[in-house]
Structure 1
Amino acid sequence: MNWSAVAAIYRFEMARFFRTITQSLVSPVLSTSLYFVVFGAAIGSRIDQVEGVPYGAFIVPGLIMLTVLTQATSNASFGIYFPKFIGTMYEILSAPIGYVEIVLGYVGAAATKALFIGVIILVTSFFFVDMTILHPLVMVAFLILTCVSFALLGFIIGIWAKNFEQLQLVPLLVITPLVFLGGSFYSISMLPPFWQGVTLFNPVVYLVSGFRWSFFGTADVPVAISLVAIAAFLGIMLAVTAWIFRTGWRLKQ
Structure 2
Amino acid sequence: MTNRRGIWAIYRFEMARFGRTFWTSLVMPVITTSLYFIVFGSAIGSRMDEVSGVPYGAFIVPGLMMLSMFTESISNASFGIYMPKWSGTIYEMLSAPISPLETITAYVGAAASKSIIIGVIILATANLFVDVEIAHPVLMAIFLVVIAITFCLFGFVIGVWAKSFEQLQVIPLLVVYPLTFLGGAFYAIEMLPPVWRTITLFNPVVYLISGFRWTFFGVGDVPVEISIGAVLGFFAVLLAIIFWMFRTGYRLKT
Number of equivalent positions: 253
Establish whether residue 184 from structure 1 lines up as the match of residue 185 from structure 2.
yes
Q: What CA distance in whole angstroms lies between the structure 2 residues aligned with 1:171 and 1:245? A: 23
Q: What CA distance in whole angstroms lies between the structure 2 residues aligned with 1:130 and 1:98? A: 45
RMSD (CA atoms)? 0.8
Q: What CA distance in whole angstroms lies between the structure 2 residues aligned with 1:56 and 1:219? A: 16
Aligned to 2:157: 156
Aligned to 2:140: 139
TM-score normalised over the length of structure 2: 0.98
After TM superposition, give the deviation of residue 53 of structure 1 in Å: 0.7
Aligned to 2:95: 94
Cα contact 2:29–2:121 (8 A) shared by 1: no
After superposition, where does 1:37-56 map in structure 2 within 5 Å?
37-56=38-57
Which consecutive unaligned segments of at least 5 residues does structure 1 have?
none
- Give deviations 1:148-169, integer Å, cap 9, x for gaps: 0000000010000000000011
Q: What amino acid is aligned across from residue 119 of structure 1 in structure 2?
A: V
Aligned to 1:214: 215
Establish whether residue 34 from structure 1 lines up as the match of residue 30 from structure 2.
no
After TM superposition, give the deviation of residue 171 of structure 1 in Å: 1.0
Aligned to 1:234: 235
SS in structure 2 opposite 1:26? helix
After TM superposition, give the deviation of residue 18 of structure 1 in Å: 0.9
SS in structure 1 opposite 2:133? coil
SS in structure 1 opposite 2:183? coil
Which consecutive unaligned segments of at least 5 residues does structure 2 have?
none
Q: What amino acid is aligned across from residue 76 of structure 2 in structure 1?
A: N
Q: What CA distance in whole angstroms lies between the structure 1 residues aligned with 2:52 and 2:111? A: 34
Q: What CA distance in whole angstroms lies between the structure 2 residues aligned with 1:131 and 1:85? A: 43
Q: What amino acid is aligned across from residue 242 of structure 1 in structure 2?
A: F
Q: What CA distance in whole angstroms lies between the structure 2 residues aligned with 1:87 and 1:27? A: 31
- Give deviations 1:36-71, integer Å, cap 9, x for gaps: 111001110011111111100000000000001110
Q: What CA distance in whole angstroms lies between the structure 2 residues aligned with 1:244 and 1:22? A: 35
Q: What CA distance in whole angstroms lies between the structure 2 residues aligned with 1:219 and 1:167? A: 32
Q: What CA distance in whole angstroms lies between the structure 2 residues aligned with 1:68 and 1:198? A: 24
Q: What CA distance in whole angstroms lies between the structure 1 residues aligned with 2:45 and 2:195? A: 26
- Give deviations 1:153-203, integer Å, cap 9, x for gaps: 000100000000000111111111111000000000000000000000000
Regions of 4+ moved over 6 Å: none
SS in structure 2 opposite 1:120? helix
Aligned to 1:60: 61
Q: What amino acid is aligned across from residue 181 of structure 1 in structure 2?
A: L
TM-score normalised over the length of structure 1: 0.98
After TM superposition, give the deviation of residue 22 of structure 1 in Å: 3.5
Q: What CA distance in whole angstroms lies between the structure 1 residues aligned with 2:23 and 2:91? A: 31
After TM superposition, give the deviation of residue 20 of structure 1 in Å: 1.1
Establish whether residue 14 from structure 1 lines up as the match of residue 15 from structure 2.
yes
Q: What CA distance in whole angstroms lies between the structure 2 residues aligned with 1:229 and 1:33? A: 30
Q: What CA distance in whole angstroms lies between the structure 2 residues aligned with 1:182 and 1:54? A: 19
After TM superposition, give the deviation of residue 25 of structure 1 in Å: 2.9
After TM superposition, give the deviation of residue 102 of structure 1 in Å: 0.8
Establish whether residue 79 from structure 1 lines up as the match of residue 74 from structure 2.
no
Cα contact 2:50–2:56 (8 A) shared by 1: yes
